[in-house]
Amino acid sequence: MAVPRKTVLNLSGVERHYGQGETSLSILNGADFSLVSGEIVALVAPSGTGKSTLLHLAGLLEHPDAGDVTIGGRACNGLSDEERTSIRRSDIGFVYQFHHLLPEFTAIENIMMPQLIGGLSKGEARERAGQLLDYMRIGHRGEHRPSELSGGEQQRVAIARAVANAPRLLLADEPTGNLDPKTASYVFEALEALVRQSGLAALIATHNHDLAARMDRRVTIEGGKVVEF
């Protein structure tokens, strides 16, 4: 029996403008978008069209000028900064083009960090981190620091760190953009397997059309709106 999918992210009538008066620039204009659990959606949009803005709004890093952002059924517009930070820590994982791993810590320690911040014990955090490294097929690299890992290994550690707290939503901005095609494909396979296994929802911004074609849906931004293609 199939597990019913739940709406994890919903943007309704979202607007985002920068500047005022004649210098005002409209980036998103009445944009609608939704994402359900277990789904991977590719965001393929040229630079300057609102890709990063959409990710920032979905990740509660920016406030919309109009419209509603809902995560896990919870409306986020009227929340305090502390409440938004709490949701980011518990419900959202972020992956960027550059891994941003802490260089002085090992791979397993990097993955433990968000769990420790979230209140998990050191033993539980280490066990969870080890499981994620094994799942990403780099369990044997857990005691290595980022400088001792390849680019693909570093990015897989970053993905494991992003999902360490079992978020509902994963937001990735060009997660394979700094990798060669073969390594990018391998990293995406690991990411896809993790999403399918955990049932989280993933929105992945990418310029890699081959990878985008392997996702469940592809969307772009046209005229300030999110359009499926």
Average pLDDT for 4-20: 92
Rounded CA separation 48/68 (Å): 22
Q: Are 169 and 181 in contact (CB under 8 A)?
A: no
Burial of 48 (0-12, 13-18, 19+ CB in 10 A): exposed
Rounded CA separation 74/222 (Å): 27
Please tell me which residue, 54 or 197, carries the higher pLDDT value: 54
Q: What is the mean pLDDT of the chain?
A: 93
Q: Are 172 and 204 in contact (CB under 8 A)?
A: yes
Domain 5-16+27-226's class?
A: alpha beta
pLDDT of residue 178: 85
Percent above pLDDT 70 for the chain = 99
* pLDDT tens-digit readout, 184-194: 998 899 889 88
Please tell me which residue, 149 or 21, carries the higher pLDDT value: 149
pTM of full prediction above 0.75: yes
Predicted confidence (pLDDT) at residue 75 exceeds the cutoff of 80: yes
Domain ranges of the chain: 5-16+27-226
Predicted confidence band of residue 146 (pLDDT cuts 50, 70, 90): very high
Rounded CA separation 216/45 (Å): 17
Predicted confidence band of residue 2 (pLDDT cuts 50, 70, 90): low
* pLDDT tens-digit readout, 15-32: 999 987 777 899 999 999
Q: Are 63 and 77 in contact (CB under 8 A)?
A: yes
